[in-house]
């Protein structure tokens, strides 16, 4: 298995723990150390040495659970010996993350991603961080072509960490407060036409009949990609013609709740039912999940379904490319264009808490494509004969 040992990266002021477990090599970052000299005996080196011995003992005892994501190193190495004066951003961030409760696992994953992208701020003491440091970080992220939404998520996470530090009396002000964030761009919906939907389903159905139901659900139920790949046969009620949406697969993890943190029951419209019934021949017996990879395991992300089926389909048909999430947009627009009840679309089918988000996203598209016929106002004529009296 191999003993754990420490490696120093002096130019980066970093200490790493290297070890092997189950024939896999692990490299976990433990500390930033100020001295950055060989043979230093700073407290970071000492604590990392103790941690290295503990890792070695756990490796020898075959305790696999603590090494699944490197979380053990994060929670134990970065949180030791914190003091009001010397605590750095990275040290406090990992301590904050380790003590969170009642937070969804997918949210924790996003928090961890933010912490790992903190750049040079990680080495700064909490009390030394100022708003201009945050602005510089935002500028760095913009130059790295990160999406405005991603930048906002990172800053919001960091702001939450600083708020926690204020409650712990480590700092008095939140340097993220008042930092101007890049404007979020909300592109107009760009749905596929009904004819394009038909062509897409026909093309995939002929070449990959075991996959076509995935796309039929996207177009005819408006479910999110993670919700579709997380579907189990037990969630399909053929008698009541409904689907219980209660889980999603996201960030390579199965989560027993939807994006909004709730469950919902959606209707199986007539156009979707034949696809679901036909799909039983492929996975109903071999798995509890509807959709399986070539290795007969459930999909954990929609990347392969996009790369190997969706992308080639659009290219072969000469249809302008839009990503796989536009199946959901297309469902919403098709229903709005055909005057289906707004609350049914928003709350029952799409899983929104109310109809306001639906109107915010699709309102402009809907109004542009649903201008009333002028003859529809004829009901006002019988009571208005003013201009007739003038003739």
* CA contacts within 13 A on the Cβ side of 353: 4
Would you state the pLDDT for residue 217? 97
What is the predicted pLDDT for the residue at 169? 87
Residues of the chain with CATH 1.10.443.10: 194-369
Question: What's the pLDDT at 23?
Answer: 59
Q: Are 200 and 319 in contact (CB under 8 A)?
A: yes
The CA–CA distances, whole Å, from 32 to 43, 77, 324 equal 11, 11, 41
Query: Lowest mean pLDDT: which of 65-74, 250-259, 273-282, 380-389?
Result: 65-74
Where does the pLDDT of residue 324 fall: very low under 50, low under 70, confident under 90, or very high at 90 and above? very high
The crossing angle, in degrees rounded to 10, of helices 131-143 and 148-167 is 160
The neighbouring-strand residues paired with 16 are 7, 29
Instruction: Write down the pLDDT at residue 166.
Output: 92
Q: CATH: 1.10.443.10, 3.40.50.720, 1.10.490.10, 3.30.420.40. Which one for 194-369?
A: 1.10.443.10
b (16+ CB within 10 A) / e for 132-156: ebbeebbeebeeeebeeebbbbbbe
pLDDT digits (tens, 9 = 90+) for 81-138: 445 567 888 888 888 888 887 777 778 878 888 888 887 788 888 989 999 999 999 9
Per-residue pLDDT tens digits for 44-63: 555 555 555 555 555 555 55
pLDDT: is 242 or 40 the higher one?
242
pTM comes to: 0.64
CA of residue 232 relative to chain centroid, distance: 21
Residue with tokens 């120093």: 8
* Residues 354, 40: Cα–Cα separation, whole Å: 59
Domain 82-185 sits in CATH 3.20.20.70: no
Of the listed ranges 64-78, 198-212, 325-339, the one predicted with least confidence:
64-78
79/294: higher pLDDT: 294
Please tell me the distance from the alpha carbon of residue 91 to that of residue 80, in angstroms, as a whole number: 8
Alpha helices in 126-193 (DSSP H): 131-143, 148-167
In the chain, the N- to C-terminal Cα span, in Å, equals: 101
Percent of the residues in the chain that have a pLDDT greater than 90, as a whole number? 41
What residue spans in the chain does CATH classification 1.10.150.130 cover?
82-185
pLDDT tens-digit profile of 146-170? Answer: 888 889 999 999 999 999 999 988 8
């Amino acid at each position: 298995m191999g003993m754990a040992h420490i490696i120093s990266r002096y130019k980066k002021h970093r200490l790493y723990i290297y070890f092997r477990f189950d024939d896999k090599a692990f490299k976990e970052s433990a500390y930033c150390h100020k001295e950055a000299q060989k043979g230093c005996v700073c407290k970071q080196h000492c604590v990392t040495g103790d941690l290295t011995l503990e890792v070695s003992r756990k490796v020898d005892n075959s305790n696999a659970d603590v090494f699944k994501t490197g979380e053990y190193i994060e929670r134990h190495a970065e949180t030791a010996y914190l003091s009001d004066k010397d605590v750095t951003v990275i040290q406090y961030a990992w301590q904050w993350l380790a003590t969170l409760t009642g937070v969804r696992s997918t949210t924790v994953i996003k928090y961890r991603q933010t912490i790992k992208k903190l750049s040079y701020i990680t080495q700064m003491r909490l009390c030394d961080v100022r708003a201009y440091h945050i602005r510089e970080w935002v500028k760095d992220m913009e130059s790295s072509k990160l999406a405005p939404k991603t930048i906002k998520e990172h800053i919001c996470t960091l702001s939450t960490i600083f708020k926690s530090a204020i409650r712990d009396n480590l700092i008095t002000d939140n340097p993220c407060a008042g930092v101007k964030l890049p404007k979020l761009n909300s592109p107009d919906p760009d749905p596929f036409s009904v004819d394009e939907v038909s062509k897409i389903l026909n093309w995939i159905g002929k070449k990959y009949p075991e996959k076509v139901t995935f796309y039929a659900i996207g177009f005819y139920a408006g479910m999110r990609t993670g919700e579709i790949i997380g579907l189990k046969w037990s969630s399909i009620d053929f008698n009541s013609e409904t689907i219980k949406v209660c889980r999603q697969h996201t960030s390579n993890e199965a989560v027993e709740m939807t994006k909004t943190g709730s469950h919902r029951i959606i209707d199986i419209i007539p156009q979707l039912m034949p696809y679901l019934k036909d799909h039983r021949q492929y996975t109903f017996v071999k798995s509890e999940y509807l959709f399986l990879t070539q290795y007969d395991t459930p999909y954990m992300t929609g990347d392969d379904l996009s790369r190997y089926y969706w992308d080639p389909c659009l290219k072969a048909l000469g249809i302008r490319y839009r990503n796989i999430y536009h199946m959901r947009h297309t469902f919403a627009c098709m229903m709005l264009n055909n005057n289906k009840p707004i609350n049914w679309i928003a709350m029952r089918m799409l899983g929104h808490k109310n109809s306001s988000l639906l109107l915010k996203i699709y309102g402009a598209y809907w109004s542009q494509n649903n201008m009333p016929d002028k003859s529809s106002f004829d009901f006002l004529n019988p009571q208005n004969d003013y201009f007739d009296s003038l003739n």
